[in-house]
Chains A and B, each alone.
Chain A
């Protein structure tokens, strides 16, 4: 049994138990807290399955923001579900059981957990990992992919596939590398392939050139590389979805204030008189902000990125709003500013795309950002794009918090 599965089997039982508790508990506050615990457990499951970016997002979003949003809503609604005579809805249970049984019957045909020969790992992975977005083969800057990027299914995987790959890489001579650069690249290089071998030679001595084994010619974090390049359009529209959510919250909940009317005074119990909380909050908010900025700008190197960093930045402001009251948060970060910034984030993302189009490339082809070294376009473009995502996510989360926490009009 693998280590992943060992930890997995325990964690997932806990997760399933928490899920049932979330649905069955009657107090809504308890349900909100339990759903936070559920998300943190899920983050552990993601770490266990090596999915660091997802774990990061889940911990920040599920454990942090959504719990705050739920509690902020409960303040305005009710504390408990209504008592009912029948606890169990037998009809729903029957439908659920039947659907579940059908799905379980379906899993019997699934490839086993961790199977390297599963279709998902072989069908389009070579194209995906060798994507050329943001990478101009043989140009100044990044180098073409290293040798060893043969399709995975050609290898005897179950028997020491790591060693097999290491040997293959060690035995690959420089000749083979040049040959692959000349031939194998023509497939996705298109018309650029002409004379690209010579270009590649020339690029070798260039001080600007990266070493050949350099992350397959992409940024080190493959997840970010796919997020912002291979699926760049998708991510752009996900950002637009988040922006739309913020806009709908404003439409649904923001009340129009008469000119001169200030924010309503805080009616709920204020936390401002708690000295320890105030001191610790003031002590830690700078660190939270720095960490958020670090996560946004570090996204292409390690786990992190615009989504996670944006949420972390937002939590710093939400913490400030919780401790010092929302009028104070409005003084620091006026509603007008968050509205404008949310728009600017989306515009920054799509602006990068339009800019590359104006430079003569395709939409979001980062290689056209800087003609002097197109190979370095990907890190540059991704940093810009991640900042766009980060700004939008951060400001939309703050907007959502502001709108949900808005005191009811009397």
Chain B
């Protein structure tokens, strides 16, 4: 049991990533695919932040030792979680929302041009267009 709990976080990260992966592959709705891509990203965030945790560690922020302030009980370097993964994921989240925004903008443009956001309908439209072009070229 304790063996499982020791790598439990990594398993959940795999579950999240695979749910996102399945969504991107199996779902035909473009917005659904964009959301699933976000799930995939969050799984990776979970992986990084889980690696940063140290037994008995706390947030990597120093606190002032003073009479009026709470003395930080863990104001010792070893008691910090590793701050580097936090830094990486902090910026990755904001980049993630930028990716989502650009994806949504492209989806809106697709919808304006073709009137649908379902992947299979889009491929059908594309095939029809290709067939029409081929016919016109033949004439």
Contacts of B97 in A (CB 8 A): 61-62, 65-66, 69, 397
Q: Is the interface of A mostly helix, strand, loop or mixed?
A: helix
- Chain B: which residue is nearest A400 at the CB level? B101
Q: What is the number of residues of chain A that contact chain B, defined by CB distance less than 8 Å? A: 119
Q: Say yes or no: A89-B26 contact (C-beta < 8 A), given A221-B61, A242-B94.
A: yes
A350 at the interface (CB under 8 A from B): no
Is A242 within 8 A of B56, CB to CB? no
Is B25 within 8 A of A107, CB to CB? no
- Chain B: which residue is nearest A72 at the CB level? B104
- In the bound complex, CA of A155 to CA of B77 (Å): 12
Contacts of B6 in A (CB 8 A): 112-113
- Chain A: which residue is nearest B72 at the CB level? A220
Q: 1/0 per residue A1-35: CB within 8 Å of B?
A: 11011001100110110011011000010011001
- In the bound complex, CA of A234 to CA of B88 (Å): 9
Is B117 within 8 A of A8, CB to CB? no
Contacts of A223 in B (CB 8 A): 60-61, 83, 86-87, 90
Residue from A49, A110, A245 in contact with B99 in the complex, judged by beta carbons closer than 8 Å: A245
Q: Say yes or no: A115-B55 contact (C-beta < 8 A), given A35-B35, A96-B22, A252-B105.
A: yes
Residue from B29, B51, B64 in contact with A82 in the complex, judged by beta carbons closer than 8 Å: B29
Q: Say yes or no: A220-B111 contact (C-beta < 8 A), given A54-B49, A227-B87.
A: no
A113-152 contacts to B, CB under 8 A, are 113-116, 118, 120-121, 125, 128-129, 148-149, 152
Is B27 within 8 A of A23, CB to CB? yes
Contacts of B27 in A (CB 8 A): 23, 81
Is B50 within 8 A of A76, CB to CB? no
Contacts of B38 in A (CB 8 A): 35, 62, 66
- In the bound complex, CA of A140 to CA of B22 (Å): 57
Is B12 within 8 A of A15, CB to CB? yes
Contacts of B62 in A (CB 8 A): 215-216, 220-222
Contacts of A8 in B (CB 8 A): 8-9
Q: 1/0 per residue A95-117: CB within 8 Å of B?
A: 11101100110011010111110
Q: 1/0 per residue B45-66: CB within 8 Å of A?
A: 1100111111111111111110
A373 at the interface (CB under 8 A from B): no
B7 at the interface (CB under 8 A from A): yes
- Chain A: which residue is nearest B82 at the CB level? A121
A194 at the interface (CB under 8 A from B): no
Contacts of A31 in B (CB 8 A): 31-32, 35
Is B91 within 8 A of A93, CB to CB? no
Is B105 within 8 A of A403, CB to CB? yes
Q: 1/0 per residue A384-400: CB within 8 Å of B?
A: 00000000010011001
Is A307 within 8 A of B91, CB to CB? yes
Q: Say yes or no: A241-B78 contact (C-beta < 8 A), given A19-B15, A23-B22, A28-B29.
A: no
Contacts of B21 in A (CB 8 A): 96, 99
Contacts of A164 in B (CB 8 A): 78
Q: Which of A57, A69, A77, A158 has the most CB of B within 10 A?
A: A77
Is A66 within 8 A of B100, CB to CB? yes
Contacts of B31 in A (CB 8 A): 28, 31, 70, 73-74, 77
- In the bound complex, CA of A169 to CA of B78 (Å): 12
- In the bound complex, CA of A9 to CA of B6 (Å): 11
Contacts of A39 in B (CB 8 A): 42
Contacts of A403 in B (CB 8 A): 105
A362-397 contacts to B, CB under 8 A, are 393, 396-397
Lowest 10 CB-CB distances: which A-B pairs, in order? A245-B98, A89-B26, A112-B6, A92-B26, A222-B60, A92-B25, A165-B76, A23-B23, A107-B10, A238-B91
22 contacts between A and B (CB under 8 A): A1-B2, A2-B55, A12-B8, A16-B15, A16-B19, A19-B19, A49-B81, A54-B89, A54-B90, A72-B104, A73-B104, A82-B121, A107-B11, A116-B55, A125-B84, A161-B79, A165-B77, A165-B78, A223-B83, A227-B91, A241-B98, A404-B104
List 4 additional contacts besides A4-B53, A19-B39, A51-B52; criterion CB under 8 Å. Answer: A42-B42, A58-B45, A216-B77, A245-B102
